[in-house]
């Protein structure tokens, strides 16, 4: 039966990427002087799984690096050679090479064969027998050559393997050829296939597996390695492995008849070879304390987005029903109102559950930075420790993906500009090694992500001098917060020379623009000689938000709750005219500029006198402005719909939503609205 395995490629790609990420995490955290055996076993299993999958799905180029890596890891975990820091670096390079090959098969990107050959050469060099440390080399007995030859011969064991697979083996897309090929690389291997006789042709199913296999293998490899070949294939009642006793002269070796079950004498493996209860705690694919069936499944992002869109339509439909029922007498239609109230509660619960599916831990981004810091610190000759705090904080998947580039640039800046060289730190009375902290936490309806370092901090004088050189407007009485904001100007850099790490004259302005595009804010804090912090504040999700609906003339708008400070109705004495068509509102000693929403969007019938309307104080990236509206309608949790997809970009808005009446309401963006107002 020919089966198109390409339909399963994506599963292999995803699982291999997870294996590579886990290998990198372990290598970056491992102590070469005192490695943990379970961690070594975990990276070996990860490399073995990638190699097995690559062979099964027909990617032989990937098995070259993984096989060499697996061989070396096997020697390390059996303490034949000692692990060193140099080995860890080469292992990381090998992971990069495998990742490049994986991307080549997945995305069609180019694969540099010279890199592959160089990595294989490095692995083979340190895996050579003479590369073993003296302490790890076995001591040869001081006897004659005959005795040595007998000892070496006795180290080879012969195993009899009987595999009786289930009838659905082929439906599980299991291919035996890669298994036979891997066993043959271990030593002298032979296999015999046995077919179950089919008595009747009526009802014969060609997809059923009617075969069994009996194999013999003479090898120096330990029994555990033979088990691992079958780790994803055999169940406890499907496989037996017996170590045959060496045959004495004139005595036949003990063997099993094919029909006999393997005896339970401690040498026969008649159990599941990769039993979940025997997996070491902390090993790849298992968490401490985890039991039972798999706790997660893979679902395509497109399916999740479709589910969220349908959930949004359900929320809109529920709002329409509530709007219609609002006009009915609650006494005469008591049951209907009670049912709609229950529907509203269940819809909100369902909406929160569905939205949680799209949420993912920010560790998805954080996990890539240990390797980045490790490599750049070595390149720059600096000693840097990376601390991760709040990795389990959840954020909308769309925001997580867009946050990767800004955080990468901020971490690189901290490494290049923030953390000093060890000599400079010691001179300044600091430890030789610096610290970069990546921290995430949820605060109300927002997620705050912070990049902090204990380096030299920002230099106020240098920033001001560079601002003058670039023609930026400055003043002598600027606060530190205002000076720090100058670094976000396009092309601004205080680097003495351009490097390939940072200081290229671009970056911080892109960080600010990307964060603003996500509805976020950026604040910078610094203390000279003590370090600096960059704090990014983002909404929890791009799909829904809590908003306050307001009326201006005959139009309804949604103002996000997280940007509203307070609402008030001003007195005539609180209003001041400043120049032509400019009004300020006096609120507790502060004069705040007044924006008339009706004028910004040219809405007829809007209330003109502020004393007869309502003023909302909103926060526009640290700037407070007063927004004049006719009436506050109520608070809603709204589903965000993109205007650009179906129409075009509307200045001053962050999208739109559909109200219960079926009317489309624009969702206001405070920052973009202030920019539009000033332009007008």
* Inter-helix orientation angle 508-517/397-413, to 10°: 160
Question: Cβ(418)–Cβ(531) under 8 Å?
Answer: yes
B/e letters for 642-673, b = 16+ CB within 10 Å, e = fewer, are ebeeeeeebebbbbbbbbbeeeebbbbbbbbb
Reading the block at residue 13, the tokens are 């790609």
Residues in the chain: 680
Per-residue pLDDT band for 621 (boundaries 50, 70, 90) equals low
Alpha carbon distance 420, 427 (integer Å): 10
Alpha carbon distance 606, 631 (integer Å): 10
Q: Is the pLDDT of residue 170 over 70?
A: yes
Burial of 287 (0-12, 13-18, 19+ CB in 10 A): exposed
Alpha carbon distance 353, 13 (integer Å): 29
Reading the block at residue 467, the tokens are 């601002």
- Which residues lie below 8 Å from residue 317, measured CB to CB, with a gap of 6+? none
Alpha carbon distance 129, 127 (integer Å): 6
**pLDDT score for 247:** 46
Reading the block at residue 401, the tokens are 């993906």
The residue among 504, 471, 510, 503 whose CA lies nearest residue 488 is 510
Q: Tens digit of pLDDT for each residue in 257-276?
A: 433 444 444 333 333 333 33
Q: Tens digit of pLDDT for each residue in 552-567?
A: 988 999 998 878 888 8
Instruction: Give the CA count within 13 Å in the CB-facing half-sphere of 607.
Output: 16
Sign of CA dihedral 331, 336, 341, 342: positive
Q: Is the pLDDT of residue 139 over 50?
A: no
Question: Cβ(492)–Cβ(508) under 8 Å?
Answer: yes
Looking at residues 415-428, what average pLDDT do you find? 90
Alpha carbon distance 554, 606 (integer Å): 8
Q: Is the pLDDT of residue 232 over 80?
A: no
Whether this prediction's pTM lies above 0.75 is answered by no
List Cα–Cα distances, 261 to 242, 247, 255, 606, in angstroms: 11, 22, 11, 89
- Which residues lie below 8 Å from residue 288, measured CB to CB, with a gap of 6+? 281, 282
**How, if at all, do strands 664-668 and 239-244 pair?**
unpaired
- Percent of the chain surpassing pLDDT 90: 8
**pLDDT score for 175:** 75
Higher pLDDT, 269 or 342: 342
For 309, which DSSP code?
H
Alpha carbon distance 19, 648 (integer Å): 43
How many other CB atoms sit within 10 Å of the CB of residue 254? 12
**pLDDT score for 426:** 92
Burial of 372 (0-12, 13-18, 19+ CB in 10 A): middle
- Which residues lie below 8 Å from residue 499, measured CB to CB, with a gap of 6+? 416
**Strand, helix or coil at 335?**
helix
The residue among 439, 455, 450 whose CA lies nearest residue 380 is 455
- Which residues lie below 8 Å from residue 181, measured CB to CB, with a gap of 6+? 55
The torsion angles phi and psi of 674, rounded to 5 degrees, stand at -65, -40
Per-residue pLDDT band for 201 (boundaries 50, 70, 90) equals low
Q: Tens digit of pLDDT for each residue in 310-337?
A: 887 887 788 788 878 878 888 888 889 8
**Strand, helix or coil at 239?**
strand
Question: Cβ(5)–Cβ(57) under 8 Å?
Answer: yes
Question: What is the helix (H) or strand (E) element at residue 386, kind and residue range?
Answer: strand 384-389
B/e letters for 566-576, b = 16+ CB within 10 Å, e = fewer, are ebeebeeebbe
Alpha carbon distance 428, 384 (integer Å): 16
Q: Tens digit of pLDDT for each residue in 56-81?
A: 777 888 888 888 888 888 888 888 88
Per-residue pLDDT band for 6 (boundaries 50, 70, 90) equals low
List Cα–Cα distances, 506 to 115, 418, 512, in angstroms: 30, 17, 11
Question: Cβ(551)–Cβ(629) under 8 Å?
Answer: yes
């Amino acid at each position: 039966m020919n089966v198109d395995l390409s339909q399963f490629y994506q599963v292999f790609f995803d699982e291999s990427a997870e294996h590579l990420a886990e290998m990198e995490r372990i290598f970056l955290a491992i102590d070469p002087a005192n490695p943990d055996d379970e961690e070594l076993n975990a990276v070996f299993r990860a490399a073995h799984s990638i190699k097995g999958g690559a062979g099964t799905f027909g990617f032989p180029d990937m098995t070259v690096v993984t096989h060499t890596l697996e061989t070396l890891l096997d020697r390390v975990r059996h303490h034949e050679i000692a692990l060193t820091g140099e080995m860890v670096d080469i292992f990381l390079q090998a992971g990069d090479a495998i990742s490049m090959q994986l991307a080549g098969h997945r995305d069609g990107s180019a694969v540099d064969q010279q890199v592959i050959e160089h990595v294989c050469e490095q692995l083979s060099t340190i895996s050579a027998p003479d590369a073993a440390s003296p302490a790890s080399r076995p001591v040869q007995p001081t006897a004659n050559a005959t005795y040595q030859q007998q000892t070496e011969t006795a180290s080879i064991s012969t195993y009899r393997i009987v595999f009786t697979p289930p009838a659905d083996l082929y439906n599980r897309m299991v291919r035996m050829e890669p298994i036979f090929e891997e066993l043959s690389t271990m030593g002298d291997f032979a296999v015999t296939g046995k077919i179950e006789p089919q008595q009747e042709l009526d009802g014969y199913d060609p997809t059923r597996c009617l075969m069994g296999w009996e194999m013999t293998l003479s090898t120096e490899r330990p029994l555990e390695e033979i088990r691992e070949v079958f780790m994803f294939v055999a169940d406890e009642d499907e496989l037996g492995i017996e170590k045959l006793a060496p045959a004495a002269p004139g005595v036949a070796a003990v063997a099993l008849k094919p029909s006999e079950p393997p005896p339970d004498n401690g040498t026969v493996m008649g159990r599941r070879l990769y039993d979940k209860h025997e997996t070491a705690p902390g090993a790849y694919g298992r968490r401490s304390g985890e039991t039972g069936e798999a706790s997660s499944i893979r679902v395509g992002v497109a399916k999740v987005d479709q589910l969220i869109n349908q959930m949004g339509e359900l929320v809109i439909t529920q709002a329409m029903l509530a709007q219609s029922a609002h006009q009915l007498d609650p006494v005469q239609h008591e049951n209907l109102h009670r049912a709609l109230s229950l529907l509203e509660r269940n819809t909100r619960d369902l909406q929160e559950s569905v939205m949680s599916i799209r949420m993912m831990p920010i560790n998805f981004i954080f996990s890539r930075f240990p390797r980045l810091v490790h490599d750049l610190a070595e390149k720059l000759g600096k000693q840097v420790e990376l601390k991760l705090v709040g990795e389990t904080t959840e954020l909308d998947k769309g925001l997580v993906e867009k946050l990767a580039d800004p955080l990468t640039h901020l971490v690189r800046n901290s490494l290049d500009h923030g953390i000093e060289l060890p000599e400079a730190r010691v001179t300044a009375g600091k430890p030789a090694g610096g610290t970069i902290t990546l921290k995430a936490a949820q605060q109300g309806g927002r997620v705050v992500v912070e990049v902090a370092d204990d380096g030299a901090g920002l230099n106020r004088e240098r920033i001001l001098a560079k601002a003058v050189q670039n023609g930026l407007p400055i003043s002598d009485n600027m606060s530190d917060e205002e000076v720090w904001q100058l670094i976000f100007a396009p092309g601004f850099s205080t680097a003495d020379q351009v490097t390939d790490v940072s200081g290229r004259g671009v970056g911080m302005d892109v960080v600010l623009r990307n964060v603003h595009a996500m509805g976020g804010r950026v604040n910078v804090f610094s203390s000279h000689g003590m370090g600096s912090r960059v704090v990014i504040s983002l909404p929890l999700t791009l799909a829904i938000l809590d908003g306050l609906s307001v009326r201006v003339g005959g139009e309804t708008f949604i103002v996000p709750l997280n940007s509203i400070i307070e609402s008030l109705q001003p007195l005539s004495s609180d209003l001041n005219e400043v120049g032509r068509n400019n009004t300020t509102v006096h609120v507790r000693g502060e004069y705040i500029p007044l924006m008339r929403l009706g004028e910004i969007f040219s809405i007829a019938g809007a209330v003109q006198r502020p004393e007869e309307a309502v003023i909302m104080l909103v926060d526009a990236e640290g700037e407070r402005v007063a927004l004049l509206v006719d009436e506050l309608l109520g608070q809603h949790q709204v589903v965000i719909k993109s205007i650009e997809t179906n129409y075009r970009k509307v200045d001053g808005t962050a999208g739109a939503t559909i109200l219960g009446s079926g009317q489309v309401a624009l969702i206001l963006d405070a920052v973009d609205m202030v920019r539009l107002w000033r332009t007008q």
